[in-house]
Amino acid sequence: MPRRTVFRRLAHISLDQEMRERYLMTFSSRWLYHHIQHFPMLTSQTLFANQQPLELEIGCGSGEFLCSLAQANQACNFLGIDISETALLQATHLASTLALENMKFVAANAHLLFPLFAPDSLQAVYLHFPDPNRRRKFRKRQLFTPMLLDVISQALSSGGRFSVMTDHREYFLEMLELIERDARFEKTHAERYLSGFDAPVLSRYQRLWERHGLATLRFEVRKRL
């Protein structure tokens, strides 16, 4: 089942203007492409007006996992990016319900946001259950590429973590082989990769795929000191 199909099934949520302004920013792909200089850098100082560490989830969906992190760690800021505004309406509603002061979301094409990641600005990056569409014409949309690793390597602070997980074994092995060839990162675990993920709050995707009997495969690396 394609990831986008999941969100077609979500109930629509309407947000008042105050809630939108507090949590959700929508960046037009056209304006990002032609006028990137007019958009704010994605840093704690710019987004939250403080110097707290910042953690990022690319493809955060409806936000369950990231909001649980934000609720548990008030001394850190969290930013979720997703191309689906429908999913982010769910995420924004959840953040508002939890009254999170350290959470924001951006509705945008993640590829176009790369120039807005400042060097050494991120404590952790999460790429959980990226769309593994294998059709040739969609390959250019895949997120896990050498370009992404270049961006993350620059944006992570020294020792910063990069967590990747998926239920799609073929795609996972491609990502694993690519990260293993990149000397800028080292694994945080002795095993080649890990199976399963026991978090206090599971994302909608993890719950869905595990109900279908698909194992969660993952690895975590850190930026070398």
Q: pLDDT for 134-190, tens place per residue?
A: 566 556 668 899 999 999 999 999 999 999 999 889 999 999 999 999 999 999 999
Please state the rounded mean pLDDT for residues 25-46.
96
User: What local confidence, expressed as pLDDT, does residue 111 receive?
Assistant: 93
User: What local confidence, expressed as pLDDT, does residue 6 receive?
Assistant: 43
Antiparallel, parallel or unpaired: β 122-128 and 156-166? parallel
DSSP-assigned beta bridge partners for residue 163: 126, 220
Topology of domain 3-223 in CATH is: Rossmann fold (3.40.50)
Is residue 215 pLDDT above 90, yes or no? Answer: no
Residue 57 annotated as binding site: yes
Q: Which residues are catalytic?
A: 131
Q: Return the H-helix or E-strand segment holding 187.
A: strand 185-187
Please state the rounded mean pLDDT for residues 32-53.
97
Residue position matching structure tokens 């199909």: 5
Please state the rounded mean pLDDT for residues 94-117.
96
Residue 170 annotated as binding site: no
User: What local confidence, expressed as pLDDT, does residue 99 receive?
Assistant: 96
| Residue closest to 119 by CA, chosen among 75, 152, 163 | 152
> For the whole model, what pTM was predicted?
0.88
Please state the rounded mean pLDDT for residues 27-37.
96
Phi-psi category of residue 82: left, alpha or beta, with phi > 0 → left and psi -120 to 50 → alpha:
beta
Q: Torsion angle of alpha carbons 130, 132, 138, 140, nearest 10°?
A: 60
Phi-psi category of residue 45: left, alpha or beta, with phi > 0 → left and psi -120 to 50 → alpha:
alpha
Is residue 5 pLDDT above 50, yes or no? Answer: no
Please state the rounded mean pLDDT for residues 218-225.
96
Tokens coding 16: 């008042």
Query: Among the residues of 49-84, which ranges form H helices?
Result: 64-72
| Residue closest to 139 by CA, chosen among 127, 150, 130 | 130
User: What local confidence, expressed as pLDDT, does residue 175 receive?
Assistant: 96
Is residue 109 pLDDT above 80, yes or no? Answer: yes
User: What local confidence, expressed as pLDDT, does residue 136 receive?
Assistant: 64
Residue 16 annotated as binding site: no
Is residue 216 pLDDT above 70, yes or no? Answer: yes
> In the chain, where are the structural domains located?
3-223
pLDDT band at 206 (very low <50, low <70, confident <90, very high): low
Residue position matching structure tokens 């709050």: 201
| Residue closest to 133 by CA, chosen among 169, 105, 95, 171 | 171
Cα–Cα–Cα angle for 19, 23, 29, nearest 5°?
115
Please state the rounded mean pLDDT for residues 92-103.
96
Percent of the chain past pLDDT 70, that is, above it, reads 83
Between residues 40 and 14, which one has the greater pLDDT? 40
CA 53 to CA 77: how far, in whole Å?
6
Between residues 207 and 72, which one has the greater pLDDT? 72
User: What local confidence, expressed as pLDDT, does residue 198 receive?
Assistant: 74
Residue 167 annotated as binding site: yes
| Residue closest to 206 by CA, chosen among 145, 126, 100, 115 | 126
**CB-based contact 93:20 (threshold 8 Å):** no
Is residue 65 pLDDT above 50, yes or no? Answer: yes
CA 91 to CA 82: how far, in whole Å?
10
